[in-house]
Amino acid sequence: MRRSWAVGLLIISILAMACGGAADVDDYKAAFVYVGPADDGGWSQAHDVGRQFLADETGIETAYTELIPEDATEFRTVAEAYIEQGYNIIFGTTFGYIDAMAEMAEEYPDVIFLHCSGYLSNDSNFGNYFGKMYQPRYASGMAAGSLTETNKIGYVAAFPIPEVIRGINAFATGVKEVNPDATVEVVWTFTWFGPEEETQAANALIETGVDVLAQHQDSPSTGVVAEANGAKWISYNTVYGKEAAPEAFVGAPVWDWGPYYVDVVNSIINDEFAGGAYWGGMETGLVSWYEERGTVDGVVSGDIRSKVLAMIAGEFDPPIIEDEFIDNVIGTVNP
């Protein structure tokens, strides 16, 4: 009996050494770096809501730093400070962090780096993630095309990169689907979060006669201009910004990062993460079209519901065009 007990104990010890001990959530800490304020009502707030969801669902310790510009040195300073504090998962949530994160992934092989909206990754500790935002953009274009009375729609856009251009084209395709006579005029601000620049661009568009404004920006400034001028507003990122212009607000293509953050962190904890890319569509819930039905008296809902359901079911996908503007867009991709 004593020998059997000893043999059993030895087997258990060998198995424990072979496994190295199972990792759990307490072995990890996740840090998020934002380009804008965590309460911007848009892009950064969507990520911060996802961060909070991650912490609530998994119990992992998280932290964030806001207002870090797309500058390699500034990003590196923040990320290295987190690593020194024991954070071993770093989320960089804007395109411009891409090169710094790629370099740091090589320098810190024991840290997981996850970059949002980029295209670089490896097969070990560096991944990128994004969503098919052009899908709800298409739905929002259908809404805009249904609502305009002047057939002039304005679009306040950030930077002329493929992500933004394909979103504008998807929006314009949706406009054209329901209103072939309507045009979409684009004004670039060259900012992600620039309330002053967004306000100026939105006002310039209003002066041309547009009665619906859309945006690829992180603040609700475009909506404030729309409301002040009796126009309608297609927001972006979250629905939190609608409080800034509730009368103008029609709806928004929105992000829900929380479930993805839970899934990817669980894959890290379970030693299943292998870098690479993730690109989720409406079928995953990562992106969706939020419609404020009361604002438009149900007019838009009937027109776009079938397309939204088809995208969720994976039965329809708007065209991806990101190197030029389609024919109902006024503006240039090389401003």
Residues 218 and 278 in one domain: no
User: Are both 223 and 107 inside the same structural domain?
Assistant: no
Q: How many domains does the chain have?
A: 2
Same domain, residue pair 78 and 149: no
Q: Is the confidence at residue 9, as pLDDT, over 60?
A: no
162 assigned to some structural domain:
yes
Asked if residue 38 and residue 163 are part of one domain, the reply reads no
Query: What average pLDDT score do residues 257-266 get?
Result: 98
What average pLDDT does the structure give for the chain? 91
Answer with the residue of higher pLDDT: 153 or 290.
Answer: 153
C-alpha dist (Å) from residue 208 to 13, 27, 213, 245: 76, 56, 12, 21
Specify the pairing of strand 287-291 against strand 249-255.
antiparallel
**Which CATH number characterizes residue 206's domain?**
3.40.50.2300
Residue 190 lies in a domain: yes
Residue pair 172/208 in contact (Cβ under 8 Å)? The answer is: no
Q: Give domain status of residue 2, yes or no.
A: no
Do residue 172 and residue 262 come from a single domain?
no
Residue 19 has pLDDT above 80, yes or no: no
Clarify whether residues 139 and 238 are in a common domain.
Answer: yes
Which structural domain, as residue segments, surrounds residue 110? 24-132+257-284
Same domain, 206 and 309: yes
Task: Give the per-residue pLDDT at 293.
Answer: 54
Pair (234, 299) in one structural domain: yes
Q: Are residues 84 and 205 in the same domain?
A: no
Does the structure show a pLDDT above 90 at 107? yes
Domain-located, residue 91: yes
14 is a domain residue: no
My answer on whether 64 and 190 are in the same domain is no
Between CA 273 and CA 78 the distance in angstroms is 24
Q: What is the pLDDT of residues 194-240, one digit of tens each?
A: 999 999 999 999 999 999 999 999 999 999 999 999 999 999 999 88
Phi, psi of 331 (to 5 degrees): 145, -175
Q: Are residues 106 and 126 in the same domain?
A: yes
Is residue 6 scored above 90 in pLDDT?
no
Measured CA to CA, the distance from residue 174 to residue 156 in angstroms comes to: 17
> What are the tens digits of pLDDT across the range 296-324?
444 455 667 788 889 989 999 999 999 99
- What is the structure's pLDDT at 302? 67
In a domain, 238, yes or no: yes
130-163 pLDDT, tens digit each:
999 999 999 999 999 999 999 999 999 999 999 9
* Interval 48-106: pLDDT, tens: 999 999 999 999 999 999 999 999 999 999 999 999 999 999 999 999 999 999 999 99
User: How many of the other CB atoms lie within 10 Å of CB of 150?
Assistant: 13
Instruction: Read off the pLDDT band of 5 (50, 70, 90).
Output: very low
Could you tell me if residue 152 is inside a domain? yes
Q: What is the pLDDT of residue 308?
A: 86
Res. 291 pLDDT band, cuts 50 70 90? confident
- Is residue 12 in a domain? no
